[in-house]
């Protein structure tokens, strides 16, 4: 079994004219980042992270630079955190539905993955009781995405705090992947504020349209940051100075980039609301933010055939739910160009009308 079937599919699938399998805010062009060309440089000191970038991240999220570890995207951030905190035979508790690299990376390191459910009937809310039931004496890490991939639901702070208390009592830690947070609820404080047993990962990929920069980071206590840096010594050494310098520039324009993302998402969101209103065969909590939805197709066991037929017959991509361990659902992204979303939704509606599953 591949380590991360979704990631493998996402990288090898056919491209589609109407691409709703995405989750990033529309990619930025170099002209949309003022000063980008002048900022490029091929050398500079960044052994423990490029200092101006660590300062910019720290300022943005209200922490000290010594609590920031830079990484290759949120993917690299998650992997570094796992590499620093997990050893062979540890247990890691991960949400279901969940983003599969969060499980695959743990398996690669020899950890056992135990999942707990976030249920459509509860609006995919986090239930600390389910987390408690999934914990074992070997649990070292509890991993949550907030906003949740694939549903975009933002974790309730009280539930997160309760999960933090469970972790703390068990000598475990909570990793919260907040890569979608700024596109969804930018004013929500980072979960690091909940205590030193929390670790937060994120990047400029999802909320700012800067996937190509691979500008990611981990926010943690200083003690954990020191462990993360030693793990980095054997994972990728240092970051790319080229990308880290551009990352500083992006932080200098973050409000502008945020406004760009908001404008796009505020135009696209009503199209998704209207689509869901017209589709009684889909069960989906009303989306309040984020870049993706995860509807359940009622009375259908597996959406794989629907996704396959949409791709081959209607040139339209959605993500079948089995990649998130929930085959009755599918993930539909709405953070791309509005015309693409409109055309894609029409095609999904036509496929549902024709019962192409
Ligand atoms: C929850 C989550 N974390 C991390 C990533 C990867 O982010 P990055 O491009 O910054 O590595 C994704 C991408 O889909 C994601 O959904």
Distance in angstroms (rounded) separating the CA atoms of residues 355 and 113: 36
Per residue in 223-234, pLDDT tens? 999 999 999 999
Same domain for 342 and 297, yes or no, is yes
Half-sphere exposure (Cβ direction) of 311: Cα atoms closer than 13 Å: 16
Same domain for 259 and 152, yes or no, is no
Cα 173 to ligand 1 centroid, rounded to whole Å:
20
Pocket of ligand 1 (CB under 6 A): 23, 73-75, 99, 145, 149, 177, 179, 203, 205, 211, 216
Write the DSSP symbol of residue 47.
B
Residue 40 has pLDDT above 90, yes or no: no
Strand, coil or helix: what is 321? helix
Same domain for 59 and 191, yes or no, is yes
Cα 269 to ligand 1 centroid, rounded to whole Å:
21
Write the DSSP symbol of residue 183.
H
Per residue in 104-163, pLDDT tens? 999 999 999 999 999 998 999 999 999 999 999 999 999 999 999 999 999 999 999 999
* pLDDT at res. 185: 86
Same domain for 147 and 259, yes or no, is no
Same domain for 331 and 237, yes or no, is no
Same domain for 173 and 244, yes or no, is yes
Query: Minimal CA–CA distance to 320: which of 5, 1, 2, 3?
Result: 5
* pLDDT at res. 97: 97
- pLDDT, average across residues 318-344: 97
Same domain for 175 and 77, yes or no, is yes
Q: Which of 253, 273, 300 lies at the terminal end of a domain, its last residue?
A: 253
List the CATH number of the domain containing 273: 3.90.1150.10
Same domain for 54 and 181, yes or no, is yes
What pTM, to 2 d.p., does this model score? 0.93
Residue whose CA is closest, atom 14 of ligand 1? 23
On whether the CB atoms of residues 254 and 208 are closer than 8 A, the answer is yes
Q: 107 burial class (0-12, 13-18, 19+ CB within 10 angstroms)?
A: middle
Residue whose CA is closest, atom 2 of ligand 1? 179
Q: Identify whether 33 is part of a domain.
A: no
Residue 180 has pLDDT above 90, yes or no: yes
Cα 74 to ligand 1 centroid, rounded to whole Å:
5
- pLDDT, average across residues 257-275: 96
Query: Minimal CA–CA distance to 232: which of 88, 68, 92?
Result: 68
What is the count of structural domains for the chain?
Answer: 2
* pLDDT at res. 27: 85
Residue 82: both structure tokens together: 């796992």
Q: Which of 218, 253, 288 lies at the terminal end of a domain, its last residue?
A: 253
Q: Which of 253, 285, 310 lies at the terminal end of a domain, its last residue?
A: 253
Exposure string over 303-326, b if 16+ CB within 10 A, otherwise e? beebbeebbeebbbbbbbbbbbbb
Same domain for 20 and 45, yes or no, is no
**Which domain, by its residues, includes 259?**
5-26+255-352
Query: Minimal CA–CA distance to 65: which of 225, 253, 224?
Result: 225
* pLDDT at res. 29: 85
Residue 102: both structure tokens together: 């969060």
Q: Identify whether 31 is part of a domain.
A: no
Distance in angstroms (rounded) separating the CA atoms of residues 295 and 317: 15
Largest CA distance in the chain: 59
- pLDDT, average across residues 309-333: 97
């Amino acid at each position: 079994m591949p380590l991360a079937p979704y990631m493998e599919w996402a990288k090898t699938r056919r491209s589609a004219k109407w691409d709703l399998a995405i989750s990033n805010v529309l990619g930025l062009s170099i002209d949309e980042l003022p000063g980008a060309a002048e900022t490029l440089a091929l050398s500079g000191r960044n052994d423990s992270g490029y200092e101006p970038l660590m300062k910019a991240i720290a300022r943005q999220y209200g922490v000290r630079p010594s609590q920031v570890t830079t990484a290759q995207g949120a993917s690299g951030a998650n992997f570094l955190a796992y590499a620093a905190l997990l050893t062979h035979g540890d247990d890691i508790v991960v949400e279901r539905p969940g983003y599969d690299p969060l499980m695959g990376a743990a398996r690669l390191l020899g950890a056992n993955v135990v999942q707990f459910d976030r249920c459509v009937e509860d609006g995919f809310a986090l239930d600390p009781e389910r987390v408690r039931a999934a914990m074992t004496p070997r649990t070292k890490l509890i991993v949550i995405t907030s906003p949740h991939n694939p549903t975009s639901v933002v974790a309730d702070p009280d539930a997160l705090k309760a999960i933090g208390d469970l972790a703390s009592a068990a000598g475990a830690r909570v990793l919260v992947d907040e890569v979608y947070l700024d596109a969804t609820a930018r004013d929500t404080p980072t979960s690091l504020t909940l205590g030193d047993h929390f670790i937060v990962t994120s990047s400029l990929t999802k909320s700012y349209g800067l996937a190509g920069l691979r500008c990611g980071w981990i926010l943690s206590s200083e003690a954990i940051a020191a462990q993360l840096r030693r793990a980095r010594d054997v994972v990728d050494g240092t970051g790319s100075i080229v990308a880290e310098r551009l990352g500083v520039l992006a932080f200098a324009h973050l409000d502008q980039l945020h406004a760009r993302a908001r404008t796009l998402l505020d135009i696209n969101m009503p199209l998704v609301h209207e689509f869901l209103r017209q589709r009684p065969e889909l069960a989906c909590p009303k989306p309040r933010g984020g870049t993706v939805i995860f509807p359940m197709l009622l009375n259908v066991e597996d959406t794989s055939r629907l996704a396959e037929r949409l791709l081959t017959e209607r040139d339209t991509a959605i993500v079948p739910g089995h990649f998130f361990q929930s085959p009755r659902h599918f993930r539909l992204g709405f953070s791309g160009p509005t015309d693409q979303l409109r055309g894609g939704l029409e095609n999904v509606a036509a496929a549902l009308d024709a019962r192409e599953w």
